[in-house]
Amino acid sequence: MAIVVNLDVMMARRKMSLNELSEKVDLTLSNLSILKTGKAKAIRFSTLEAICKVLNCQPGDILEFVPDSDE
């Protein structure tokens, strides 16, 4: 199973840069970059909430479950 992070898709839809999002959610650029590239192992609900508020979206718009190909 895999959780895919679609943060870059939502940022593109909102025409928002990583720098701008970083400032608005008060998260370091490096931590936001790790999340955007899908390398994060976890995300706090408070961080997810802040991102959703800024991007005006739902958590499911950012996080997606994609089953393994062998399932």
Q: Which residues of 39-68 are buried (b: 16+ CB within 10 A; e: fewer)?
A: ebeebeeebeebbbebbebeeebbeeeeee
- pLDDT tens digits, residue range 32-68? 999 999 899 999 999 999 999 999 999 999 999 998 8
Q: Quick one: CA torsion of 30, 35, 38, 40, rounded to 10 degrees?
A: 90
Q: Please tell me whether the overall predicted TM-score, pTM, comes out greater than 0.85 for this model.
A: yes
Helix ranges (DSSP H) in the chain: 7-13, 18-25, 29-36, 45-55, 59-62
**Domain positions in the chain:** 2-66
Indicate the CATH number of 2-66 among 1.10.760.10, 1.10.260.40, 3.40.710.10, 1.10.287.610: 1.10.260.40
- pLDDT of the residue at 71: 55
pLDDT at 1 over 60: no
